[in-house]
Amino acid sequence: MAAFGLYTHIQSNKRRSIALLIGLFGLVYVMVFAGALLAEAFTSHNYNGYYASPPLDYLIRAAAFDFVKAAPFATVGTVIWILIAYQFHQAMIDAVTGAREVSRAEEPRLYNLLENLCISRGITMPTLRIADDDGLNAFATGLNEKQYSITVTRGLIDSLNDQEVEAVLGHELTHIRNGDVRMLVIAVVIAGVISFFGEMIFRIVFQGGFSGGSRRSSSDSKGGGAGAAIIIAIALIALVWVLAIVIRFALSRQREYLADSGSVELTKNPDAMISALRKIEGRGEIPSANSAVMEMCIDNPREGFSNIFDTHPSVEARVEALVKFAGGHDPGPLALPVPDPSVDELRQAEASEPPPGGPWGDQTPQQAQARQGPWGPAPTPGAPEPGGPWGPKPN
């Protein structure tokens, strides 16, 4: 169905995401069948009364039989994997990025900006986390309201003004409102299952499979349908791997446009979103984060053969969309403000100064001498009692 307007685009994106997740889950079973076919190809068969490599159709039927027996175990294993990720994915992400939860007392500026956005739309306040990294980036995680969390890097906090930080927080809140976070976390988990099964199959085949098949001669192992079965199985595994990347790519790319527009809807400030993207552009790398975490970020600057399917549209394309549909103004690439060294020196000086004495703390003689009460200086021990505010005390 055609989508018209922001909300119908969101609903269309959700339907498409659910369909893609179902397809991603189905790839797990294709991987299991490919593994069964490889196992049959490397196993000796008593065919026509002697051990030889049977034809391809026999191996496919045997692999299908193995698949039926293995499918329940694959389903249970995948569900257990998802449940583990459901419970511990935030702890694993924090371990990778070094992020920590912060309170209002620790980060009042950031906390107040996020709280104001949540109050304005009646959104449950997510947990706020900070990763002490110089890269300019942010991402949202969680699978339900109790788990939702927004992580912001220290570099982004220090480099963006309040309006730009608010726009970034609005972007991540939109991911939570649209269900993108839940979808992407599940997609990353299922893709992890596919990668795990694929790696396990290749290890079994290329490290232990040939020894298992050495019970028959090398000519037997390549004869019959075994060679064709191996080629088909490897092709299926490669296809599953590529399709898993494509599905994750499809889940990630469109959602960034919707999150940008959702941020503008929350903040009513398209220029802040544009300037935030321009400052983040090319500066979002988090060295400690793996590719799965970078897919959740507001910008993923990684490129190369391993990232041939970009998970994010370019900043240029996103800015162009905001200018066209939200009426924003593009200032072009922006340089980050140069930090003022005098401010850093002042902070270091303040940190090195000893704390002043309180009303019950220790004071220097100069401080004690300078203390003034409401009716004059503090009395000196042994000195005559001073007069009150209306003159000397009468005898």
Which of the residues are catalytic?
172
In which residue are the tokens 């009513």 written? 268
Instruction: Report the Cα 243 to chain-centroid distance in Å.
Output: 21
CA distance readout (Å), 129 to 90, 175, 361 = 11, 16, 36
CA distance readout (Å), 383 to 87, 364, 388, 395 = 72, 20, 15, 17
CA dihedral angle for residue 39, residue 44, residue 47, residue 51, rounded to 10 degrees: 170
Residues 6+ apart with CB under 8 A from 10: 178, 258
- Would residue 41 be called left, alpha or beta, if left means φ above 0 and alpha means ψ between -120 and 50 degrees? alpha
Strand runs (DSSP E) across the chain, as ranges?
45-47, 50-52, 99-101, 127-131, 138-141, 149-153, 372-373, 376-377
Burial of 378 (0-12, 13-18, 19+ CB in 10 A): exposed
